A and B are shown apart, each in its own frame.
Chain A
């Protein structure tokens, strides 16, 4: 590090290294694999300059094959821009073109994409992109169908039909972008089923002012959907499916599952009544306690949702700590727990009528301790895993 803070390390710092706990005379691990982090360390400490850094990274990960990369970039960007153009074009609700022509154009485009995908083969990016284009055009077709025949169907039906119709293609495509599209469509259809539109205000009210009239609980459904996607991903990876290996294919669905699992818990903390100086019965004994949450004041589905949330987070922790080790997912679980504890702390402090100043000061100290402990806990797990990995080598 530069300046005064040479060697000062923290998770907020540039280097991000833990404080050194060995003497500086320890020899370099000659046989250890070099990594990008090592190169960054040499660059940060001034042992190599920027061109040296580039040279070292090029040794580790040669950046040649620019032509192939550029070709892929042009294909993906070209397809994305063209498809966006097609969607915009039909969003105009082009009155001057007769309905049959609209259908013909889109159906021919879908057929063309499918034939192209078949001819180019799904082993190649071109084939995959053509199949993806066909999937997007199915949505355009459904939108035109709704326009022309004025079906009056709810918007969630469109997205649901779209997701169902392209599901088979998503499976055979073996293409991550296809599954991103499919996941977005499936989530949109669940969301629109409840809200009949993308209305953040309604969603906020739904989370923090739940009513008894609710017949179903949106977030449990979303958690189940994304949890199923995540489970399918883990199942496939365990069976050697390589194209699902990148870590983001785990982190994204995990985030989309953990967030809806957490929201009912936060609802419970924010909306439940609190009884003070009361008792709880344990084995027939009435034990006096300072305060307890009266969850019976909440709609049953919020309580079930919160229960499912706690259970789900526990399962996530167990699975990703013990079975499929993932620090990213554990961090998401920990973040959810930390935020829940923050809300609980503030809620209790407010209920204690302590006044604004003590609440803010205690809130500050609690936050530092809460998140500090969480980071230390996760760091310990990371080092444990590293130790056990190295001991098996």
Chain B
């Protein structure tokens, strides 16, 4: 693991970045840091406290509106837009107000925005559900479109990262549900279609998350979408595991159970390659051992555990402890889920887990032996 280095000064950091040619407008950047350093970062604890307050306040406010009778089916959509405007107005007031008032007004803005989005989506569903009544789950399409519209319209307008994340999660989840609901549920091809749709989403969401988090031209603005994609992927892994016992998701060519494992496995391999600066540069026996280990693990375990490992690697690579922590929490969650949910006998589960654990420990032994041999050779 890394040891903490000697502290580096802000000036030295800026100089280094400037020398490498990766700092745009160094003078302005220096001013930005000077200004930002006055306030210092608001700790995560205070953000969570504010979020809890905002969620409770949203509940009170929405219930108030619902019981007051303002939530009429015909006017919900318009009211939703009016409330978005009100939330934006409050945000502008918050920008201009003093720090004391700022906290209250910003919280109110967040609350009204949350309520407005709920109203907008319900209003959208009420207004357009007739257009999408092709299948028995006709309402899910207007709901998906409503959530999507609400998310896109407000994404850049409001700076609330939690709102961006939650809205994106809802949209991505609804979208999967809507696509799965497209074919006729009674059709005999439904299990096959649903399984392949989920596999497709697993692949597509993983590629999108990787692109948003790793591509150098993508701005920080889109990080909440990337994290929403990761959360949805975890949800998909749970669904894939949980629905294995469902007759609707009987194995199709033996693939729908295993495909997410391999997608997650190859995602993990790509991330490891990216982290070490590309396997091509370091193509030696260690890389082969790691690749074989990951592929074998994809046979043994489930996609959720592979995704959890992927999160740990990404968190480490990208200096995001919260992501690593999420990886550890989700690996624990998947183990518990594995114990209670999967439709294997406990004995089979124990063999799978012992096999996976043994495999990882074996890979570690081989890797360590290879490193030792390499060191001995270089000394000789």
A residues adjacent to B (C-beta < 8 A): 1-5, 7-22, 24-34, 36-52, 54-57, 59-75, 77-89, 91-92, 94, 327-328, 331, 334-335, 338, 342, 356-357, 360-361, 363-364, 367-372, 374-376, 378-379, 382-383, 386
Contact = CB atoms under 8 A, between A and B. Distances in A.
Contacts of A78: 357-361, 364
A335 B30 CA distance: 37
B106 A11 contact: yes
Interface stretch (B59-67, B124-132, B140-148, B251-259): B59-67
B95 A91 contact: no
B49 A331 contact: yes
Interface in B100-138: 100, 102-104, 106-108, 110-111
Given A5-B159, A33-B10, A367-B57, A14 B220 contact: yes
B191 to A, nearest CB: 29
A68 B16 contact: no
Contacts of B364: 71, 74-75, 78
Contacts of A5: 91, 95, 157-159
A357 B64 contact: yes
Contacts of A327: 43, 45-46
A3 B157 contact: yes
B13 A34 contact: yes
Nearest to B64: A360
B367 A67 contact: yes
A379 B100 CA distance: 11
21 contacts: A3-B157, A5-B95, A8-B91, A12-B110, A13-B160, A19-B102, A24-B35, A25-B31, A32-B37, A33-B9, A33-B10, A37-B40, A38-B33, A45-B29, A46-B219, A67-B371, A328-B45, A363-B60, A364-B57, A375-B46, A376-B103
B107 A372 contact: yes
B378 interface: no
Contact of A24 (B31, B156, B220, B367): B31
A47 B159 contact: no
Instruction: Choose among B54, B103, B158, B162 the residue with the greatest number of A CB atoms under 10 Å from its CB.
Output: B103
A182 to B, nearest CB: 17
Nearest to B69: A357
Say whether chain B's binding surface is mostly helix, strand, loop, or mixed: helix
A95 to B, nearest CB: 11
Nearest to A93: B346
Contact of B361 (A11, A28, A75, A357): A75
Interface residues of B, number: 120
Given A48-B24, A77-B331, A34 B10 contact: yes
B247 interface: no
Contacts of A60: 5, 8, 13
Contact of A89 (B159, B354, B356): B354
Contacts of A31: 9-11
B350 interface: yes
A124 B206 CA distance: 36
4 nearest A-B pairs in the assembled complex, by CB-CB distance: A371-B53, A82-B357, A85-B353, A81-B357
B53 A32 contact: no
Nearest to A23: B35
Contacts of A55: 17, 20, 22
B380 interface: no
Nearest to A75: B364
Contact of A12 (B12, B51, B312): B51
Nearest to A5: B159
Given A36-B319, A56-B17, A44 B220 contact: yes
Interface stretch (B196-204, B209-217, B235-243): B209-217
Contact of B41 (A17, A43, A63, A85): A17
Contacts of A334: 49
B153 to A, nearest CB: 12
